[in-house]
Each structure stands twice: as structure tokens, then as C-alpha cells.
A = this chain, B = another copy of it.
Amino acid sequence: MSTRTLTVSAAQLGPVPRSATRAETLARLIRLLEAAAAEGAELVVFPEAALTPFFPHWLVKDEVELRSYFEEDIPGTGTQALFDAARTLGVAFVLGYAERTRDERQFNTAAFVDENGRVIHRYRKVHLPGFRDFQPGTPFQNLEKKYFEVGDLGFGVQAWRNTRIGLAICNDRRWAETYRVLALAGAEVVCLGYNTPASNPHLPESDNLTDFHNHLSMQAGAYQNSMWVIGTAKAGTEEGVSQIGGSAIIAPSGEIVAVARTLDDEIVTAEIDLDMVIRYRRDVFNFSQHRRPEHYTSITRPGA
């Protein structure tokens, strides 16, 4: 019998409107944290950019508005209550937020906060989708390449309790290298949040497949690396942009063991068997036995 289990929750958020105050949004996150704790969760994963609307969907012309979407300190005055709640509840969490550093660099970031309310790991998004410039003639923008730099911390893995945690953000989940690099570093659980429009103005033929592509990418990443994946959406229609839900907890078998049913604030919880990682890695995805790095060289070639 396995004794290495963990109860985890994806804390899906419905839309965060521009009109919401930070206090209102934080209260929603705290309510979700409490609801997850009531279901026994030891780790709760919030979406990408959970504190604000997903502002890369439009061109922000006003510098004050733009600055209002970024966190200069985590925890900061606008987020301390969430960290306090985590400590009180004894629950760890992953929080996605827009980060602005002291030297004015901007990243799309996720923090891993332990059950004592301490930030013990950070990840800055590597695979920024979208564009650097305003795209005319589309119903909404994706200006992540304008607002954020490419993450400079790589795909690190954090030891926590009796497991190892990796973080990724949104578009990272579509790139197989994300999971592989995390798995090679020993990650057993990958936590990722996303904001994913239901339609793609640049490839409308794929619009009926958005939910499928979301799960396909996470399921393949989980299976092919023998990892648990917890994927959490910011869902529903936010500032005119319809976003998918489908927050899910996915096993090293690739199976979805729990999934969101709504496009609103919702907790998705499962008890996960961490030793399943070991069993799949011992057999099917035994990296040391079966990988052939000498045949992968083009993958790390600059400019490839």
C-alpha cells in the first residue's frame, strides 16, 4: 500500500472584471482556499494572473492602469490576507501574478507558497504566446510579448514535504519540453494556471478544439513524463473575452481524475498517489534506460 498521498485542489476562478477591487478578488481567492481546505486540500493551485483581469487581452495605454496589474511584492499589502489565510489553514498554494521587479522588469510569474505562508519557489513564464505589437482587426489582443519578458529562471523544481513540485504557466503546457525538463529535474507534480480564450482569431478553424487541446497537452505531458498535473483555469467571459474552464487534476497515466464543471469559481479536489509516478517511471518512461539524448540535439540548438 502506498503511503505517499497528497490531497490537492485546482481553484478555478471565474472572470475577474476590471471593475473588481483587489480586496474583492482576494476575498474570492480566500473563500476558494477555505473551501479547498474544507475538502482536505494540502495544496491549492490558482490560475495564471489570478489577481487581475488578463490584461494582455487589450492594449493598456494608461501607465497607471498598467502598473495596477503588477505586483511589486509578494506578499504585498494587497495580497497579505491570502498568505495569512494559508498559514491559518495550513494549506500551501500556487499563485499566478504579474510581477514587476525592483529594476522594473516585468514577468508572468507563479509563486509556490508553503503551508506557513512563505514563498519558497518562483517561476517566470518561458513560453510567452502572442505578439509584441497591437494586432488590428482582431476582437481581442494577446500582448504577452509586449508586457512580459521571457522568464529567466528556467524550469526549476522545488522539494516540498515528501515530493518535488514544478511550476508552469498557460502556454508552457503546449510545449513538450516544459514537462520533460521538469521531469528530468525530478518533478512529481506540475502546477500550472491558464487564461485561454475559447476562440483564436488567428486560427478560427481550431475554435471547436480549444478544450480538447487543453486537456490533450496536459494529459500527454503527464503521461509521457509520469507526473501529476494540476491545471487551473481563469474561466468564463472576462472583459468581453470568452475563456475555457476545464481545470483538471491529471494522473501519470494521463487520466483526468477530477475536472471542473463550470466556468466560474469552483474547487476541483483529488487525493493523488505520488508513488504512481515511481511505478510509471520504473517501467514505461524509464528515462535512463530508454532516452537517447544524442539524437535530440536539434531541440537545444539556438534559433531552432
User: Which residue of chain B has the shortest Cβ distance to A202 in the bound complex?
Assistant: B283
Determine whether A287 belongs to the interface, using a CB cutoff of 8 Å to chain B: yes
Does B300 contact A216, Cβ atoms closer than 8 Å? no
Determine whether A205 belongs to the interface, using a CB cutoff of 8 Å to chain B: yes
| Chain B residues with CB under 8 A of A1 | none
Give the distance to chain B from A165, nearest Cβ to Cβ, in Å: 17
Query: Quick one: which of A203, A206, A296 has the most chain B CB within 10 A?
Result: A296
Determine whether A290 belongs to the interface, using a CB cutoff of 8 Å to chain B: yes
Determine whether A129 belongs to the interface, using a CB cutoff of 8 Å to chain B: yes
Neighbour of A174 across the interface among B200, B217, B224, CB < 8 A: B224
Determine whether A136 belongs to the interface, using a CB cutoff of 8 Å to chain B: no
**Interface segment out of the listed A46-54, A69-77, A177-185, A257-265:** A177-185
Neighbour of A295 across the interface among B181, B205, B209, B287, CB < 8 A: B181
Does A299 contact B184, Cβ atoms closer than 8 Å? yes
A interface with B by C-beta (< 8 Å): 126-129, 150-151, 154-155, 171, 174-177, 179-181, 184-185, 200, 202-203, 205-206, 209, 212-213, 216-217, 219-220, 223-224, 253-255, 279-280, 283-285, 287-288, 290-304
Copies in the complex: 2
Does B185 contact A298, Cβ atoms closer than 8 Å? yes
| Chain B residues with CB under 8 A of A298 | 181, 184-185
A280–B290 Cα distance when bound, in Å, is 30
| Chain B residues with CB under 8 A of A212 | 254-255
Does B209 contact A217, Cβ atoms closer than 8 Å? no
| Chain A at the B interface: SS class | helix
A181–B293 Cα distance when bound, in Å, is 11
Query: Quick one: which of A202, A217, A254, A292 has the most chain B CB within 10 A?
Result: A292
Does B223 contact A217, Cβ atoms closer than 8 Å? yes
Does A209 contact B294, Cβ atoms closer than 8 Å? no
Give the distance to chain B from A75, nearest Cβ to Cβ, in Å: 27
Does A295 contact B154, Cβ atoms closer than 8 Å? yes
Does B184 contact A283, Cβ atoms closer than 8 Å? no
Neighbour of A129 across the interface among B175, B176, B185, B290, CB < 8 A: B290
A297–B154 Cα distance when bound, in Å, is 10
Cβ-closest 7 pairs across A and B: A220-B220, A176-B176, A203-B283, A177-B296, A300-B300, A184-B298, A202-B283
Does A171 contact B290, Cβ atoms closer than 8 Å? yes
Contacts known (A253-B209, A283-B200, A284-B206); A177 close to B299, Cβ less than 8 A: yes
* 26 residue pairs bridging A and B, Cβ less than 8 Å apart: A150-B292, A175-B290, A176-B177, A180-B296, A180-B299, A181-B299, A184-B299, A184-B304, A185-B298, A200-B284, A203-B279, A203-B284, A205-B253, A206-B253, A206-B284, A213-B223, A213-B253, A217-B220, A217-B224, A220-B224, A288-B303, A293-B299, A293-B300, A296-B300, A297-B300, A299-B299
